[in-house]
Amino acid sequence: MPFQVSPGVNVSEIDLTTVVPAVSTTEGALAGVFRWGPVEQRVLVDSEANLAARFGKPTNHNAETFFTGANFLSYGNKLYIARVANTTSTNTGIVCRNAIANTAALSDWSDADNNTSIDNARYVVKNTDHYDNSITSIQAGDGDLAYIAKYPGLIGNSLKISVCDSSAAYSSLANLDNGGGNLSTTLGNVAITVGSSNVTVNIAVGNGTIANAVTYAGTVRSGITAGDYIEVGNTTIGLQYLKVSSVAAVTNTSTVATFTIVTEDVYGLSTDYTTAVGFTRKWEYWNAVDAAPGQSAYQANFGNTSVSDELHVVVSDHDGLFTGTPGTILEVFNNMSRASDAKTEDGATNYYKTVINTNSNYIWWVRDRSGAASGTAAAIINSTTTTPLSLEFIGGRDGLDENNIALASVLTGYDMFASAEDVDVSLILTGTARGGSNGEQTPNYLIDNIAEKRKDCVVFVSPQKADVVNAAGSEATNVVTFRNSLRSTSYAVLDSGYKYQYDKYNDIYRWIPLNGDTAGLCVRTDDTRDPWWSPAGFNRGQVKNIVKLAFNPRQADRDILYKAGVNPVVTFPGQGTVLYGDKTLLAKPSAFDRINVRRLFIVLEKAIATATKFTLFEFNDDFTRAQFRNLVEPFLRDVQGRRGIYDFKVVCDTTNNTGEVIDRNEFIGDIYIKPAKSINFIQLNFVAVRTGVEFSEVVGQF
């Protein structure tokens, strides 16, 4: 007990309830080319739908990578994705970069100069950290840049942003009389006929000149933005809102200045409509928010009470590349504030830059709109804008595809899973095998630099597509050649090829490597049994989402493959497609040449090591050693009861913790395991005996 200097009662707690924790073995990891999403950042996805939403639907550029991940997720719900892309001019080929929304024409960048290094650096934002580090240089590089797509890729060109930062931008009345007596509403009007999509606006000359009419017509015209809605009709015939497609230039006669508003829909009320009053224009997304932007409660309570600080922002899928339906609204941010210190009622920030950057899945803020500057609530002034800001994104580019991107880029993505301290993953999906003379470079790199280094995960590999697709008669030889190019290791598993599956996103069929399925079968086995059960066979090895195999090995082929350490995937008529082997790539005869044994030891080592770290810096004495044995043995008995091991023994005493060991500040625990073995071969002996023979006389003699 602690020493006390003066009389008193001291209460201490000693925690001896430490147990060996359960550890997760179902997280997968995949690095590769995707259309969308953060670059060089680990992102956990839990379903195929989430994968498509976060990283884009598959294309011909990344189908094998996408469906490797999607197939894995059909068995489990934890997959880390690391998107890779060539985002600098030092990469070969087209540079992958973000789409941008400019308030003016690009003066220093076009398709023709896409290899200009300053442009490549300026229009690439990989992820949140990269944005924080590069926003200043982006702002300095292009004074017209208002927003930038959240992630690099051609798909960003489908985005459109619309900002409404004043009540005048939300809605306004276009009066046909300028109020100065120079023009007259007597002859001026707004007119449209039934079935037409052209709204004619006439500004008539009164006491002034035609020049006055042309000038005022231009003023009225400038207040209309493509996408706005024009209100036509009245209380008698009803109201219709027509969406503006374009606005023609002003023309004139000697007495009338005229321009035409072209709408997307036709006028469909009962009678032609004409009015001399004018017309009401509404913001394109007026019905997606509650009301016009005004003054927030924070501004009213803590800022300049004469200022309206609110604004609305809408992000839409203008070209339909994200949703399949052009014009679909993706995000609505309403009643945000231009006040940098603004808060919502629950204390969260309401500053529009922070809200957008934190919550948008599609855009980054770059700068304030002219006439609607940010500032503190006490210092900002009213917005002077009278029309919404509507910008379409341009200039986004896809980089190289999954077969052409520099291998170094892909391996850099996988390097994000190299440290067990940074991320907990158990199953590494190779996707497409690339590099070297046989495609062995990628899997060998993952084996050497991730699996063998971490020693808590397994790499899943498929041969190259050319080894098995359209290679009739030579598939087994090709796959064995590929296998012989790989390392001997118990931390990797090789299947026999590719499957043909339906791509619902593009309505076609594709060849996809099986390593995502093989890893997925391990996840399903973990969920239904335990990691130390074999994922192969008819009970647990059924492959999903398959039309046919590129290579369906028969018995003779399976004998060749299995001897080489390749796990055949076989279609049996009426019984499905099955993983028909559970070997690792370990070449030497050992218990560790089986998947279930390797994964058993990963679980044991990971769980016991996690529990044992709390022994660090304790005393190496009988008490600590007994505590260690009492910690480990119940856990191993539980594993034994769940058929993971046949027997075990834990040695942690003075026989292995000698005085020399203690003096070196070390602690040794020896754990002996007899791992359970899966059945790979079945021998059935049917013995015929004579009628008069007793079975006891012959049983055991054959």
- Chain segment 413-431, per-residue pLDDT in tens: 999 999 999 999 999 999 9
- Indicate whether 110 pLDDT > 70: no
Percent of the chain scoring above 90 in pLDDT: 80
Residue 247: phi, psi to the nearest 5? -125, 120
- Mean pLDDT score, 654-664: 95
Could you tell me the two tokens for 82? 């690391």
pLDDT of residue 143: 86
Confidence of residue 17 (pLDDT cuts 50, 70, 90): low
pLDDT of residue 115: 43
Strand order in the sheet with 98-102: 98-102, 145-152, 363-365
Domain with CATH 3.40.50.11780 in the chain: 28-84+401-596
- Mean pLDDT score, 203-208: 80
- Mean pLDDT score, 51-77: 96
* Selected residue with higher pLDDT from 588 and 685: 588
pLDDT of residue 420: 94
Pick from 124, 133, 261, 274: which is nearest to 193 by CA? 274
Tens digit of each residue's pLDDT (9 = 90 or more) over 558-600: 999 999 999 999 999 999 999 999 999 999 999 999 999 999 9
Could you tell me the two tokens for 395? 């200039």
pLDDT of residue 111: 43
Distance, CA of 366 to CA of 408 (rounded, Å): 31
- Indicate whether 109 pLDDT > 60: no
Confidence of residue 434 (pLDDT cuts 50, 70, 90): very high
- Indicate whether 106 pLDDT > 80: no
Distance, CA of 478 to CA of 475 (rounded, Å): 5
Of 119-128, 376-385, 398-407, the range with the lowest mean pLDDT is 119-128
- Indicate whether 24 pLDDT > 90: no
- Mean pLDDT score, 203-227: 88
- Mean pLDDT score, 359-364: 97
- Mean pLDDT score, 516-527: 97
Tens digit of each residue's pLDDT (9 = 90 or more) over 113-171: 444 444 556 789 999 999 999 999 889 888 889 999 999 999 999 999 999 999 999 99
Of 40-49, 107-116, 511-520, the range with the lowest mean pLDDT is 107-116
Q: Which CATH architecture group holds 28-84+401-596?
A: 3-Layer(aba) Sandwich (3.40)
Tens digit of each residue's pLDDT (9 = 90 or more) over 309-344: 999 999 999 999 999 999 999 999 999 999 999 999
In this structure, are residues 399 and 94 in contact, taking their beta carbons and an 8 Å threshold? yes
Average pLDDT, whole number, for the chain? Answer: 92
In this structure, are residues 567 and 610 in contact, taking their beta carbons and an 8 Å threshold? no
pLDDT of residue 175: 83
- Mean pLDDT score, 527-552: 96
- Indicate whether 112 pLDDT > 90: no
pLDDT of residue 116: 44
Distance, CA of 190 to CA of 352 (rounded, Å): 38
Confidence of residue 607 (pLDDT cuts 50, 70, 90): very high
pTM assigned to the model: 0.89
In this structure, are residues 99 and 393 in contact, taking their beta carbons and an 8 Å threshold? yes
pLDDT of residue 688: 86
List, as own/partner pairs, every contact residues 549-552 make where C-beta atoms lie below 8 angstroms and the sequence separation is at least 24, other chains included: 549/497, 549/498, 549/499, 549/500, 549/577, 550/465, 550/468, 550/469, 550/475, 550/497, 550/498, 550/499, 550/500, 550/511, 551/468, 551/471, 551/475, 551/476, 551/479, 551/496, 551/497, 551/498
In this structure, are residues 678 and 596 in contact, taking their beta carbons and an 8 Å threshold? yes
pLDDT of residue 88: 81
State the pairing for strand pair 427-429/28-32: parallel
* Selected residue with higher pLDDT from 230 and 141: 230
- Mean pLDDT score, 375-394: 95
Tens digit of each residue's pLDDT (9 = 90 or more) over 243-279: 999 999 999 998 899 999 999 999 999 999 999 888 9
- Indicate whether 501 pLDDT > 70: yes
Which amino acid is it at 411?
A: L
- Indicate whether 177 pLDDT > 80: no
186 vs 203, 208, 210, CA distance in Å? Answer: 10, 14, 15
Tens digit of each residue's pLDDT (9 = 90 or more) over 456-478: 999 999 999 999 999 999 999 99
